[in-house]
C-alpha cells in the first residue's frame, strides 16, 4: 500500500519508528517530514500528507503529533481527506468501517511504539463497511 507519513517535532521519534516498520512490511512509504525534533508547525506537515491522500498519490496517511488532534484538524481542511485521531483499537476499527477514514492521526504523548504500530496495522487492514455508511460519508464532502 502507498502510505504518506509525517510528524511534527513532538511526533518525530514515533514517526521514524513507524516509517521503518511500514517499509519493513513492504509498504511504499513517502515521508513528508519533519526530519528532527526542532520545533516546527504541524499544519505544514499535515497538509502535505493530506494533499497526497486527497489527490490519490497515497492510499492512506499517518500523522503524528503530541495528541493527534491538531494534525487531524489541519488534515481535514483538505478535500477528500477524512482524518481521525484514535488511541484504541475500537476507535480505529470503527473510523475505518463507518467513516472510511483515510488518514490516521496519533498522539505520541499517549502511545508507545508497540501500541501505535498495532493501531496503524489495524487501520491499514480494516475495510470500509459501505452500505448505509457510504451515504453518510458522502455527506462529509457536501457543504450544507
Which range among 13-27, 38-52, 88-102, 129-143 shows the weakest confidence by mean pLDDT?
129-143
50: cell is 493530506
Active site residue 9: no
Convert the pLDDT of each residue in 56-72 to its tens digit.
Answer: 999 999 999 999 999 99
As for how many domains the chain has, the answer is 1
* Per-residue pLDDT at 59: 98
Which range among 22-26, 36-40, 107-111, 140-144 shows the weakest confidence by mean pLDDT?
140-144
Find out whether 53 and 81 touch, Cβ atoms under 8 Å: yes
The CATH number for 79's domain is: 3.40.1400.10
7: cell is 510528524
In this prediction, residues 61-87 reach a mean pLDDT of 97
Cis geometry, peptide bond prior to residue 34 (ω within 30 degrees of 0): yes
143: cell is 457543504
Find out whether 39 and 95 touch, Cβ atoms under 8 Å: no
In this prediction, residues 35-50 reach a mean pLDDT of 98
From the candidates 27, 47, 98, 133, which is the catalytic residue?
98
Check pLDDT > 90 for residue 95.
Answer: yes
Active site residue 98: yes
Name the DSSP letter for residue 139. Answer: G
From the candidates 9, 27, 47, 65, which is the catalytic residue?
65
The boundaries of the domain holding residue 63 are 2-141
Amino acid at each position: 500500500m502507498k502510505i504518506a507519513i509525517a510528524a511534527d517535532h513532538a511526533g518525530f521519534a514515533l514517526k521514524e519508528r513507524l516509517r521503518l516498520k511500514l517499509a519493513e512490511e513492504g509498504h511504499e512509504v513517502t515521508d513528508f517530514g519533519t526530519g528532527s525534533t526542532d520545533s516546527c508547525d504541524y499544519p505544514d506537515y499535515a497538509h502535505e500528507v493530506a494533499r497526497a491522500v486527497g489527490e490519490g498519490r497515497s492510499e492512506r496517511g499517518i500523522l503524528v503529533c503530541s495528541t493527534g488532534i491538531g494534525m487531524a484538524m489541519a488534515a481535514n481542511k483538505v478535500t477528500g481527506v477524512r482524518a481521525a485521531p484514535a488511541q484504541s483499537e475500537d476507535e480505529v476499527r470503527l473510523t475505518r468501517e463507518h467513516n472510511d477514514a483515510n488518514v490516521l492521526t496519533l498522539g505520541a504523548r499517549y502511545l508507545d511504539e508497540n501500541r501505535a504500530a498495532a493501531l496503524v496495522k489495524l487501520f491499514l487492514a480494516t475495510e470500509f463497511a459501505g452500505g448505509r455508511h457510504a451515504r453518510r460519508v458522502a455527506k462529509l464532502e457536501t457543504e450544507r
